[in-house]
Structure 1
């Protein structure tokens, strides 16, 4: 820390710290790695007042209204993750310094991370850690209780609004925290517009804390460790934040679990960074599962991806893939479009099993190269249908114009599937239901070529690497129109045509083999085997 910043920071907290001795700090510590203090009254993130969490099988269940927790993004940090952050983020910094680190938790809640950090500082340096700890908390009551209990300074504010000020720039040595998870797809938690810290309009609030953290620690050598939604690894609207963080720091640590560690419907990861250091001598250190067991480190081997999915891809089972875009992109031969709520709600009242009109194809009716309309029941707008059609005459003029743009030769693509599932509507007879994506070729004669690309092992692996962690499950591929549009075209046009012929004749596996050749990847048996296994699984589930 610069000397002037150190003096300023020390003056800020000295008045609070002077009231506590090292003995009183030790006597007040109630955190243990095997449990959670009974005195905890909030969360790491926005708080819930004086409710207390329960611990079971290493996870934490927060008491209080579920809707209130969701609104605040407030979920308690399990003890195993507290231990991991202190052991793998704070202690490595301590190994490099004879003086204690200045530590900040920008969303401290009940202070359990600061409490564990203080314990580690006391054990290593034999001092009262309070002058070296700072928390930030929105709730005044919780902030006051955390400050009283730990003896450190707790700022009453939103970290995103205050910590960007010059006096906090590079003023700390370590940032640890579990910021609030506030999805921007929900009306109750949306901030309305793009993030002021660099993310797009759908970037989770937790990603804003990721953007802020490297600015708070000194460079070089400052360390950051945050519990984040898994989607931060790959969500498109977080890409600007990922790029900015990569310019400032290197990824040093990654933990994740396939199961949820919180009583929230969100999978989480921990990302650790060293600011101002680009060297990665042994790759990124990794831990996996509820018990945070160490696994082999990983390097970013130049994969063509803007996401951080490479951190976990091998464990999830996605084969590595590097393909160039020198032969063009899907957008050069087709337009990929996703419909939204206007189309979804606009169809309500016009859909029925007993009306005349084009079939309505939902994502659940699309399998690999097959449409199950009429043979499988489906749901639309919370109503179950056997063979839903849309009475276009009941639609408003804007929706009728939309329907005309969709009733053309196209490929329909489902989402949240283990492999890309695409089906050809060669005669332009179907209407898609949200979130089905429509891929309309510029030349209707290319509809099978587009479908062969989308059905290929390369497309599934490429999208999976781009968007790992954004699906509803660890294995699900969340497909977006923009990702499909950016899919590179294959180099071998003859093999590509053979693939489209195979697909048109109903030979999905032949299509996959030809597309592997079309991309010059005939040697990649692992890629084909991975895709084939997922296709087989999809077909088995479909009966």
Structure 2
């Protein structure tokens, strides 16, 4: 019947868990992305069939099956970091089709544990969907059958429950957790929680669960409770977990508790959902309170992991560097963004005011926007600036250019070529937004968002109105071209990635708020800064002419002082795809 083991009783709802323990731990296995075995292929196939039956609604609520190779690799990663003795009690609190439980079972077999031992209570699967639990049970039975284990020896504990609310009797009793919890943004009506649910979650997990925390991040808080001292966990998260303010409390809990060990960032998109992911690896310290704080001081760095197949460690970061701030440095390191020393110059918000509209501004401007044409002329010089202003969307802002009227854009569910804002109509419909717009009708710099580099275009005539989320920088005494050159300098983009990267829709883009753009440091070499600004002025006088981006990038990089010249090449390589970017708002 396999390895000798004894049973430890752990009460779980209305049943018992049999926790198998060997007399000695298995040999440590090196992290590798092991190919699924022949025995596991049928079991994984059952999960894949389950995924094929998911409705669009279920997918939009965060249900996505984990690929076999990924499940195997993350289970290997997690078990390699577990230092306990015997056979661990393994849990997936949102098990779906059972991919991680199959992966964990395979990993234990490779460590010399018999399938019978594994299946007699060593696995716990929880899911709110009864179909998912049935699928997991069928998958484990198929896996057992492939190893010649009779069905009556297959005794995993599978529970239909909401692990975030129920299963409190598992607290402090789990050795290893692996999983891919549902991604449920609280900004979407389909996946947002009720007020009663929010109150209950804060009562259970504390202030880190308050606000707009994605459900996937709440599972991090849950697993912190489930792990026994010395336990270890790996949870897949949306990559936005690393940078969004709503997950800040969860991130800080991992740091302050001395629990975070590694972050894994894949180089490609792994799921059908249009979202980039990461995984956090954390453990429960051997002790709590002062012991956890001591471990935080001892844990000088955390690993940033790349290719699981090659055990690639991309680098290590000081753990205290992550406390109380976005983990953008993790994203930047994984993306190969070069580094630049922290400058000592003043930020851009000391010479300009940065602002952007929100929902009210967007809809008020949309309601008063018309297509240029009769009775308006397409010629900019012919319209009355007291009555009309040009509407600029993100799609129109390119590096060193505001491309208004060059191609059609989609704005407020309508197509425009030359969108114009009727200032009188706006005044009659929304006086507060009208006053905000009037303050913007001065020469300024407009900055796009969700871009690969910081893009800034100069509105020399002061007749452009930015549409949310375009950011406006209103210069004080500084020339607008100097301000644009400072924001577009290659080291400024590098600095922004290390400070704020990770919250964009794409892993290859920056999403900056007006406040964050205002924190970009100003150049320190005034001569080089002036030279870069002169290039932008020249381009503004000859729109449409071919441009040598190196003629701007070299002095703009030099304006930051003695920095690595590779930053210039890195920035230039990002421009071609950036210039072809076309987003509608």
Whether TM exceeds 0.5 here: the answer is: yes
| Residue of structure 1 in register with 2:486 after alignment | 453
Q: CA deviation at 1:87?
A: 1.0
1:226 maps to which of 235, 255, 271: 235
Q: Deviations over 1:384-441 (max 9, x none)?
A: 2221111122221233223213223321111122211101223421011222112223
TM-score when scaled to structure 1? 0.80
| Residue of structure 2 in register with 1:409 after alignment | 443
| Residue of structure 2 in register with 1:418 after alignment | 452
| Residue of structure 1 in register with 2:69 after alignment | 80
| Residue of structure 1 in register with 2:289 after alignment | none
1:274 aligns with 2:283: yes
| Residue of structure 2 in register with 1:12 after alignment | 12
Q: Deviations over 1:233-292 (max 9, x none)?
A: 22333233222212224544444434332221112222322343556699626233xx84
| Residue of structure 2 in register with 1:179 after alignment | 181
1:134 maps to which of 84, 100, 124: 124
| Residue of structure 2 in register with 1:101 after alignment | 88
1:373 aligns with 2:404: yes
Q: Deviations over 1:300-358 (max 9, x none)?
A: 1689774334445355331123314x433333333322322322222334222235611
| Residue of structure 2 in register with 1:47 after alignment | none
| Residue of structure 2 in register with 1:529 after alignment | 569
Pairwise mapping of residues 472-491 of structure 1 onto structure 2 (< 5 A)? 472-491=505-524
Find the residue that maps to 1:161 and give its secondary structure: coil
2:56 maps to which of 66, 70, 73: 66
1:191 maps to which of 176, 190, 193: 193
Q: Equivalents in 2 of 1:283, 1:308: separation in Å?
A: 11
| Residue of structure 2 in register with 1:216 after alignment | 226
Which of these two proteins has the greater Rg computed from alpha carbons? 2
Q: Equivalents in 2 of 1:315, 1:86: separation in Å?
A: 21
Q: Deviations over 1:117-137 (max 9, x none)?
A: 245446634424443333322
Q: Indicate conservation of the 8 Å contact 1:13/1:153, yes or no.
A: no
Q: Indicate conservation of the 8 Å contact 2:450/2:509, yes or no.
A: yes
Pairwise mapping of residues 376-391 of structure 1 onto structure 2 (< 5 A)? 376-391=407-422
1:114 maps to which of 101, 109, 114: 101
Aligned length: 502
- 5+ residue gaps, structure 2: 1-5, 23-35, 142-153, 286-294, 377-382, 540-547
1:52 aligns with 2:50: yes
Q: Equivalents in 1 of 2:43, 2:278: separation in Å?
A: 20
Q: Equivalents in 2 of 1:285, 1:453: separation in Å?
A: 31
| Residue of structure 1 in register with 2:362 after alignment | 344
| Residue of structure 1 in register with 2:292 after alignment | none
**Which moves more between the two structures, 101-110 or 498-507?**
498-507
Q: Indicate conservation of the 8 Å contact 1:362/1:432, yes or no.
A: yes
Q: Equivalents in 2 of 1:479, 1:199: separation in Å?
A: 24
Q: Equivalents in 2 of 1:294, 1:182: separation in Å?
A: 30
Evaluate the alpha carbon distance shift between residue 318 and residue 120 of structure 1 in structure 2; reply closer, same or farther with a 3 A threshold: closer
Pairwise mapping of residues 225-244 of structure 1 onto structure 2 (< 5 A)? 225-244=234-253
Q: Indicate conservation of the 8 Å contact 1:471/1:478, yes or no.
A: yes
Q: Equivalents in 2 of 1:101, 1:32: separation in Å?
A: 21
Find the residue that maps to 2:224 and give its secondary structure: helix
CA-atom RMSD in angstroms: 3.7
**Which moves more between the two structures, 407-416 or 306-315?**
306-315
| Residue of structure 1 in register with 2:423 after alignment | 392
Q: Equivalents in 2 of 1:189, 1:210: separation in Å?
A: 18
1:157 maps to which of 157, 161, 165: 161
- 5+ residue gaps, structure 1: 1-5, 23-28, 42-50, 54-61
Evaluate the alpha carbon distance shift between residue 157 and residue 540 of structure 1 in structure 2; reply closer, same or farther with a 3 A threshold: closer
Q: Indicate conservation of the 8 Å contact 2:265/2:334, yes or no.
A: no
Q: Equivalents in 1 of 2:163, 2:329: separation in Å?
A: 30
Q: Indicate conservation of the 8 Å contact 2:338/2:567, yes or no.
A: yes
Q: CA deviation at 1:140?
A: 4.2
Q: Equivalents in 1 of 2:320, 2:395: separation in Å?
A: 32
Q: Deviations over 1:17-57 (max 9, x none)?
A: 5799x9xxxxxx9995546545449xxxxxxxxx623xxxx
Evaluate the alpha carbon distance shift between residue 177 and residue 18 of structure 1 in structure 2; reply closer, same or farther with a 3 A threshold: closer
Find the residue that maps to 1:97 and give its secondary structure: coil
